[in-house]
């Protein structure tokens, strides 16, 4: 019960630097723990654990795969022997397919021209080939197609991409690149960078991602010609601001690869998985061999085909979020055919076509064809159906794109109205 000491800190900072060192360390550790967990939850480990099941078999099959249709089409065709393997490990395969399909940013099709193309957008010519995720981790590199199947399993000069003696960097290091594999020159054209050397770029603008891609990829040596520890060459893609020059160069300019349409990236958009209106694809016959959808034999069907998902209530919907409903199957038909909700179904667009009121789909004249290919992970998106529809009827032409850029330029140059006061 002695009198209490009532001294208070005098002319002292509230917190000592030692305490700060402790706290900063704790902060770093919990941040690192979070990163480690996040990484475990995300791609790299999934890819490797799936990969370790049966990599040889998958590589073999894929080597024998013959590409028949455009890869921008979601309907990627998998050979039938793949199905056997998948039936053996059915669960993993389907899981993998869905998983990977969800990890890629999927462009919407350009059905009308966005405002401010010239200020806020980039444009580049999309290489023809297989869209895939390339992941380097733990001394090896794996490329997986959108449907989850392995394309290649190889050493590369990407960080953590090969077991070389002088491999530096920590065990946590890994990269995830969004690529298109171009068969003719056996090159991975990198169209986006998702993670680099353990550093996630998901939350960075595409402006930054392209900048990072261009500076880091070259530095890493991944653009060098193939060698023992570097099986395939990687190559960045020339990206242009979407002004008149840029668009014209991307459209007509000489590229080291075969073109398959143009891709437009909004400069401010983050890497967002799934469908996004902030990346757009556009094609015409001049810049793509595959403008109109082909079937599994590579033939253009006489009627446009669409793939839709059957919902609980019998409605037929696109893959968009929220989904767009194209029609409805009646209950009897569903019961008779034993179709279950969630299944993907193929339809032909009949003579009645698609009709719109106020820019919204009002009616679709659909004809049931059958179940979609098993390798499909999702239904078509609304923008794809519409683009395919307009391509067959009144396509959006390059002149209209150029005109849109010009008109916005005109507007810029136009003096603004000034209210006169004198």
Partner 1 sequence: MAMEVTQILLNAQSIDSTVRKQAEENLKQFQEQNLPGFFVSLAGELANDEKPVESRKLAGLILKNALDAKEQHRKFELVQRWLTLDVSAKAQIKAFLLQTLSSPAHEARSTASQVIAKVAGIELQHKQWPELLGALLSNIHQLPAHTKQATLETLGYICEEVSPDVVEQDHVNTILTAVVQGMNSSEANNDVRLAATRALCNALGFAQLNFSNDMERDYIMRVVCEATLSPDLKIRQSAFECLVAISSTYYDKLAPYMKDIFNITAKAVKEDEEPVALQAIEFWSSICDEEIDILEEYGGDFSGDSDIPCFYFIKQALPVLVPMLLETLLKQEEDQDQDEGAWNIAMAGGTCLGLVARTVGDDIVPLVMPFIEENITKPDWRQREAATYAFGSILEGPSPDKLMPLVNTALSFMLNALLQDPNNHVKDTTAWTLGRMFEFLHGSALDAPIITAANCQQIITVLLQSMKDVPNVAEKACGALYFLAQGYEDGGSSSALLTPFFKEIIQTLVTVTHREDAGESRLRTAAYETLNEVVRCSTDETAPMVMELVPHIMMELHQTLEGQRLSSDEREKQNESQGLLCGCLMVIIQKLGSSEQTKFVFMQFADQMMSLFLRVFACRSATAHEEAMLAIGALAYATGSNFIKYMQEFYRYLEMGLQNFEDYQVCAITVGVVGDLCRALEDKVLPYCDGIMTQLLKNLSSNQLHRSVKPPIFSCFGDIALAIGEYFEKYLVYAMPMLQGAAELSIHISGADDDMTEYTNSLRNGILEAYSGIFQGFKGSPKTQLLLPYAPHILQFLDSLYMEKDMDDAVTKTAIGVLGDLADTLGSNAGPLIQQSVSSKEFLIECLSSDDPLIKESADWAKLAISQATSF
Least distance from C-beta 31 to partner 1, angstroms?
Answer: 10
Residue of 162, 161, 210, 160 lying closest to 190 (CA atoms): 210
Least distance from C-beta 20 to partner 1, angstroms?
Answer: 8
Least distance from C-beta 92 to partner 1, angstroms?
Answer: 9
- Residues 97/375, Cβ–Cβ less than 8 Å: yes
Q: Which is nearer to partner 1, 64 or 139 (CB)?
A: 139
Least distance from C-beta 103 to partner 1, angstroms?
Answer: 11
**Residues found near partner 1 in the complex (CB under 8 A):** 1, 3-4, 6-8, 10-11, 13, 16-18, 21-22, 24-26, 28-29, 32-33, 36-37, 40-41, 45-46, 48-50, 52, 91, 94-95, 98-99, 102, 169-173, 197
Q: Which is nearer to partner 1, 41 or 414 (CB)?
A: 41
Q: Which is nearer to partner 1, 12 or 228 (CB)?
A: 12
Question: Residue 247 and residue 122: Cα distance in Å, rounded?
Answer: 9
| Token digits of residue 287 | 């810049």
Q: Which is nearer to partner 1, 16 or 411 (CB)?
A: 16
- At 35 the three-state DSSP class reads helix
Q: Which is nearer to partner 1, 164 or 186 (CB)?
A: 164
- Residues 392/304, Cβ–Cβ less than 8 Å: yes
Residue the block writes with tokens 């960097």: 169
SS3 readout for 220-260:
HCCCCCCECCECCEEEECCCEECCHHHHHHHHHCCCCCCEE
Please state, in angstroms and as integers, the Cα–Cα distance from residue 418 to each residue in 46, 259, 414, 421, following that order: 60, 47, 12, 9
Least distance from C-beta 141 to partner 1, angstroms?
Answer: 18
Q: Which is nearer to partner 1, 50 or 191 (CB)?
A: 50
Question: Residue 121 and residue 5: Cα distance in Å, rounded?
Answer: 67
Question: Residue 162 and residue 178: Cα distance in Å, rounded?
Answer: 19
Neighbouring residues of 389: CB distance < 8 A, sequence distance ≥ 6:
304, 349, 353, 354
- At 66 the three-state DSSP class reads coil
| Token digits of residue 206 | 């595409």
Q: Where are the beta strands (DSSP E) in 138-203?
A: 140-145, 150-154, 174-182, 187-196, 199-200
CA dihedral 72, 75, 79, 84 (to 10 degrees): 130
**What φ, ψ does residue 215 adopt, rounded to 5°?**
-85, -35
Instruction: Supply angle C-alpha 251, 388, 111, rounded to 5.
Output: 65
Least distance from C-beta 7 to partner 1, angstroms?
Answer: 4
Q: Which is nearer to partner 1, 275 or 294 (CB)?
A: 275
Q: Which is nearer to partner 1, 94 or 334 (CB)?
A: 94
Q: Write down the H helix ranges in 338-418.
A: 382-393, 398-413
Least distance from C-beta 148 to partner 1, angstroms?
Answer: 12
The alpha carbon of 71 is separated from its chain's Cα centroid by a whole number of angstroms, namely: 12
Q: Which is nearer to partner 1, 69 or 172 (CB)?
A: 172
Residue the block writes with tokens 């002695």: 2
Q: Which is nearer to partner 1, 136 or 388 (CB)?
A: 136
Q: Which is nearer to partner 1, 42 or 111 (CB)?
A: 42
Residue of 277, 248, 293 lying closest to 398 (CA atoms): 248
What is the C-alpha radius of gyration for the chain, rounded to an integer number of angstroms? 26
Peptide bond into 315 cis (omega under 30): no
């Amino acid at each position: 019960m002695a009198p209490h000491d009532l001294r208070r800190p005098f002319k002292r900072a509230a917190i000592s630097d030692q305490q700060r060192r402790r706290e900063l360390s704790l902060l770093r550790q919990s941040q690192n723990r979070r990163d480690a967990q996040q990484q475990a939850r995300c791609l790299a480990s999934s890819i490797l654990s799936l990969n370790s099941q049966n990599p040889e078999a998958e590589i073999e099959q894929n080597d024998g795969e013959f590409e028949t249709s455009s890869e921008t089409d979601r309907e990627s065709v998998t050979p039938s022997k793949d199905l056997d393997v998948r039936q053996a490990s059915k669960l993993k395969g389907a899981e993998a397919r869905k998983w990977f399909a969800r990890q890629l940013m999927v462009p919407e099709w350009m059905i009308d021209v966005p405002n401010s193309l010239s200020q806020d957008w980039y444009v580049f010519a999309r290489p023809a080939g297989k869209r895939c995720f390339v992941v380097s981790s733990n001394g090896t590199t794996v490329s997986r197609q959108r449907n989850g199947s392995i394309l290649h399993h190889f050493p590369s000069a990407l960080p953590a991409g090969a077991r070389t003696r002088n491999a530096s960097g920590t065990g946590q290091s890994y990269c995830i690149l969004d690529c298109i594999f171009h068969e003719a020159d056996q090159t991975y054209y990198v169209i986006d960078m998702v993670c680099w050397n353990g550093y996630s770029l998901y939350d960075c603008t595409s402006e930054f991602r392209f900048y990072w891609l261009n500076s880091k990829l070259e530095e890493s040596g991944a653009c060098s010609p193939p060698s023992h520890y570097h099986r395939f060459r990687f190559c960045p893609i020339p990206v242009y601001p979407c002004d008149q020059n840029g668009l014209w160069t991307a459209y007509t300019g000489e590229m080291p690869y075969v073109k398959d349409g143009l891709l437009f990236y909004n400069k401010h958009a983050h890497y967002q998985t799934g469908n996004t209106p902030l990346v757009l694809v556009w094609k015409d016959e001049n810049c793509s061999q595959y403008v109109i959808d082909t079937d599994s034999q590579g033939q253009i069907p006489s009627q446009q085909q669409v793939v839709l998902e059957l919902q609980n209530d019998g409605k037929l919907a696109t893959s968009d979020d929220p989904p767009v409903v194209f029609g409805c199957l009646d209950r009897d038909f569903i019961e008779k055919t034993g179709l279950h909700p969630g299944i993907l179904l193929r339809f032909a667009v009949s003579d009645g076509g698609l009709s719109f009121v106020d820019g919204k789909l009002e009616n679709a004249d659909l004809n049931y064809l059958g179940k979609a290919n098993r390798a499909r992970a999702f239904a078509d998106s609304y923008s794809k159906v519409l683009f395919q529809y307009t391509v067959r009827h009144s396509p959006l032409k390059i002149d209209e794109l150029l005109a849109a850029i010009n008109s916005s330029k005109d507007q810029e140059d136009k003096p603004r109205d000034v209210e006169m006061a004198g």
